[in-house]
Amino acid sequence: MDNIRQFLPLCWLSASPLELPRSSRFFQLNIVFYFTVAFFIQFNMSDDIEAIFEVILETLLTVGFVAAILLLNRSFYSFIQVGSAVLFCQNVVALMLVPVVFWVTIAEDTPSYVVLGLFIFWAFVLIAHIFKHVLQINRPASLVVSVFYFLIAYGGAYGIDSLLAG
């Protein structure tokens, strides 16, 4: 519970991931929670078994992206902190996104899509904030890294799943 209190300010853009505690256990719990919430959301959007495979890919690509960026930056020593930060922020957004996904699925109206877009934008800004601090880059560069993160983690999972299914 203490880790949650320490990581929560990240979601309001008021903390640096490098100043947060390293906890392998918290990292593992975030992976499990990330997988569970992503699976729940994905399975509600598509009722097939491919949802499981796509969530596994998203999780692996998320962790892999963080690892690759940190290796390229020669700061892999911060993997647990940064991985926890990325997963935690994604988990907070996803947890709040669950009712919105139901709303979008049932209503399919403009306000529901606008709210969904705002949550996606929030997730995008959170990832940019994390990488801005970790890589010590300016805001525009961190936004570019955030775009690549989403393209690789989510677009990559969808693309690989589509290639293997078709």
pLDDT tens string 72-88:
999 999 999 999 999 99
Angstrom distances, CA of residue 136 to CA of 7, 36, 79, 139, 146: 19, 32, 15, 10, 14
Measured CA to CA, the distance from residue 155 to residue 35 in angstroms comes to: 17
Taking 80 as the threshold, does the pLDDT of residue 47 lie above it? no
The pLDDT, as a whole number, for residue 113 is 93
- Confidence bin at 166 (pLDDT 50/70/90): low
Taking 70 as the threshold, does the pLDDT of residue 107 lie above it? yes
Percentage of the chain with pLDDT > 90?
Answer: 71
Q: Which residues of 93-115 are buried (b: 16+ CB within 10 A; e: fewer)?
A: bbeebeebbebbeeeeeeebeee
- In this prediction, residues 108-119 reach a mean pLDDT of 93
Only one residue has tokens 């996904």, namely: 101
Domain assignments of the chain as residue spans, ordered by start: 22-165
How crowded is residue 6: how many other Cβ atoms within 10 Å of its Cβ?
A: 16
Q: CA nearest 21: which of 48, 34, 36, 2?
A: 2
- In this prediction, residues 49-75 reach a mean pLDDT of 92
The pLDDT, as a whole number, for residue 45 is 67
The pLDDT, as a whole number, for residue 1 is 77
- In this prediction, residues 26-44 reach a mean pLDDT of 88
**pLDDT tens column, 144-158:** 999 999 999 999 988
Taking 70 as the threshold, does the pLDDT of residue 28 lie above it? yes
Pair 119, 96: CB distance under 8 Å: yes
Taking 90 as the threshold, does the pLDDT of residue 165 lie above it? no
The pLDDT, as a whole number, for residue 81 is 96
